[in-house]
Amino acid sequence: MIVAKNLSELKLSIDSAKAKNQKIGFVPTMGYLHQGHISLVEEAKRESGFVVMSIFVNPKQFNDPNDFLKYPVDLDGDLNKCKQAGVDLVFYPSTDDLYPSTGFELVMTLPLLQKNLCGRTRPGHFEGVMLIVSKLFHLVQPDLAYFGQKDFQQFRIIQEMVRILNFPIEVKGIETLREADGLAMSSRNVRLSPKEREVASMIPRMFSLVEKLVKGGERKVSSLREIVSEFFLSESMIKIDYIEFVDPLQLQELDELKDNSLLAIAIFVGQTRLIDNRLLRIS
| Span 259-273, pLDDT tens digits | 999 999 999 999 999
Q: 3-class DSSP state for residue 7?
A: helix
Assess whether pLDDT exceeds 80 at residue 66: yes
The least confident of 35-39, 100-104, 114-118, 211-215 is 100-104
Look at residues 114, 147, 174 and tell me which one is the last residue of a structural domain. Answer: 174
State the pLDDT at residue 123: 94
Last residue of a domain, one of 174, 195, 213: 174
Helix residue ranges per DSSP H, the chain = 7-19, 35-47, 65-70, 75-85, 95-98, 111-114, 118-121, 125-140, 152-165, 194-200, 202-215, 221-233
13 is in an annotated binding site: no
| Cα–Cα distance measured from residue 247 to residue 258, given in angstroms and rounded to the nearest whole number | 8
Which of the residues are catalytic? 37
- Residue 156 labeled ligand binder: no
For residue 253, the 8-state DSSP code is B
pLDDT in tens, 214-249: 999 999 999 999 999 999 999 999 999 999 999 999
Residue 283 pLDDT exceeds 80: no
Residues 52 and 25 in one domain: yes
The H or E element spanning position 148 is: strand 144-148
- Whether pLDDT at 183 is above 90: yes
- Whether 116 and 213 map to the same domain: the answer is no
| Structural domain boundaries, residue 201 | 187-278
151 is in an annotated binding site: yes
* One domain, residues 156 and 234: no
At 102 the pLDDT is 86
Q: What is the rounded CA–CA span in Å between residue 13 and residue 86?
A: 16
The mean-pLDDT minimum among 60-74, 78-92, 194-208, 221-235 falls in 60-74
Q: What total of structural domains would you count in the chain?
A: 2
Question: What's 132's domain CATH number?
Answer: 3.40.50.620
User: Under 8 Å CB-to-CB from 120, ≥6 apart: which residues?
Assistant: 242
